[in-house]
Amino acid sequence: MGLSLSALNPQPFSLWSEATMNKKTIDDIVVAGKRVLVREDLNTPQDSTGAITDDRRIRAALPTLNALLERGAKVIVAAHLGRPKGTPDPKYTLAPVAKRLGELLGKPILFVSDITAPDAAAKLAILKDGEIALLENVRYYPGEEKNDPEFAKVLASFADIYVNDAFGAAHRAHASTEGVAHLLPAVAGYLMGKEIDFLAKALEAPARPFVAILGGAKVKDKIGVVTNLLPKVDALIIGGGMAYTFLKAQGKEIGTSLLAEDFVEACKSVLVQGAGKISLPVDATIVDKFPLGLSPEDRATLKVKSVSVDNIPADMEGVDIGPKTIEAFSAVVKSAKTVIWNGPMGVFEDDEFATGTRAIAQAIADSDSLSIIGGGDSAAAIEQLGFADKVSHISTGGGASLEFLEGKQLPGLVALLDK
């Protein structure tokens, strides 16, 4: 079974990647009696009634928030939810998050419903040492995503110190993730450190064999990751919808399978660079019409079969890896000592076509590897399939994980104070 380091309740890390996490943290500053603005990623899924359906991200924020509260800070949390496009929308209010956060902390939460209201600062001024407030969704304000200096000044005016703990938003240069870090002493929280620690150590000094698994639909989102990982890994597995563009680059006919025509030449180049390292599907589960959203009548007539990737009919498309591919990919995974996985192997949202994704998740769970799940759909898949407690780390940031794996600088991390 894979190493289990509790993705639900991350613990503070005392060791940081020297090359990447050479940033000050909340352990490097005095916070007693100080007003501390903490950017967290509390972008939690909710149902139609506003009830939170998965509080994993709220729980992930607890170590940093508890540490600051216990040390006597006045904590002011900033976060976003969804994409309200710079205007208040009740569908995206953080009020339910405030309620759940209060339950988990065992403390009352002061909820500030309008960040730019004239009395916002006065409301926050009543906080005592060891008390906490949550600001309304920062994306209610157009200045947030524009990284407007004036909005950043409003946020900075509430605090003496800034803490970025929102790894999932660290790849965004927004007012609450990057702008405010230039106006206050700015350090990292424990979750930010944990994320960087896992990812950086995997890339810089992995136990070998080091295997990366990339899936999902969009080649354009992953081609940079493939290029950056190739020199570092011992094996690179490519599945999911993106695999069909690579198969097309090999000269295979892929029927109506997902194809990024603009990236065929780039995939050809990658296949040359990665010769001997890259594993592609050898067979696929194919259908005559895309399964998601089908009516019961259309579902009843859906044609499904497994074929070699050399024999995909012109009128059918791949929706999952086939049994021979599952066997081959699983064997590679089981031999690994370090595994990074980003992206499902097929249309895992449909249980009939989640077989490949489930098998890869099982192989990772059964391995003795340090296993890192790179957020997004792969995190959703491993949780949905029941393997969340059998992997080493599930990242809270899909886009941030991808950009980190691609070798890009994360604005929300770069802006923090160096040690």
Which two three-digit tokens encode residue 359? 């098998």
| Options 34, 35, 39, 57, the catalytic residue | 57
Percent of the chain exceeding pLDDT 90 equals: 76
Coil, helix or strand at residue 238: strand
- Express each pLDDT in 192-233 by its tens digit: 988 888 888 888 889 999 999 999 998 998 999 999 999 999
Q: Give the confidence band of 403 by pLDDT, cuts at 50, 70, 90.
A: confident
| Options 346, 376, 397, 398, the catalytic residue | 376
Cα 10 versus chain centre, distance: 15
Question: What is the per-residue burial (b if ≥16 Cβ within 10 Å, else e) of 168-199?
Answer: bbbbbbbbbbbbbbebbbbbbbbbbbbbbbbb
Q: At residue 16, does pLDDT exceed 80?
A: no
Q: At residue 6, does pLDDT exceed 70?
A: no
| Options 56, 59, 123, 218, the catalytic residue | 218
| Options 107, 252, 399, 408, the catalytic residue | 399
pLDDT at 39: 98
pLDDT at 283: 98
Mean pLDDT of the residues in the chain: 91
Peptide bond between residue 10 and the one before it cis (omega within 30 degrees of 0):
no
Q: Is 376 a catalytic residue?
A: yes
CA distance 340 to 38: 29
pLDDT at 4: 31
Q: Is 303 a catalytic residue?
A: no
Average pLDDT over residues 277-297: 95
pLDDT at 2: 40
- Residue carrying structure tokens 């097929």: 346
pLDDT at 9: 33
CA distance 5 to 291: 36
Average pLDDT over residues 183-189: 97
pLDDT at 205: 86
Q: At residue 21, does pLDDT exceed 80?
A: no
Rounded to two decimals, what is the model's pTM? 0.84
pLDDT at 79: 98
Q: Is 399 a catalytic residue?
A: yes
Weakest-pLDDT range from 207-216, 277-286, 391-400: 391-400
pLDDT at 87: 95
- Residue carrying structure tokens 């703990």: 165
pLDDT at 137: 98
For residue 273, give every residue at least 6 positions away whose Cβ sits within 8 Å of its Cβ, in sequence order, or none. Answer: 227, 230
Rg (CA), the chain: 23
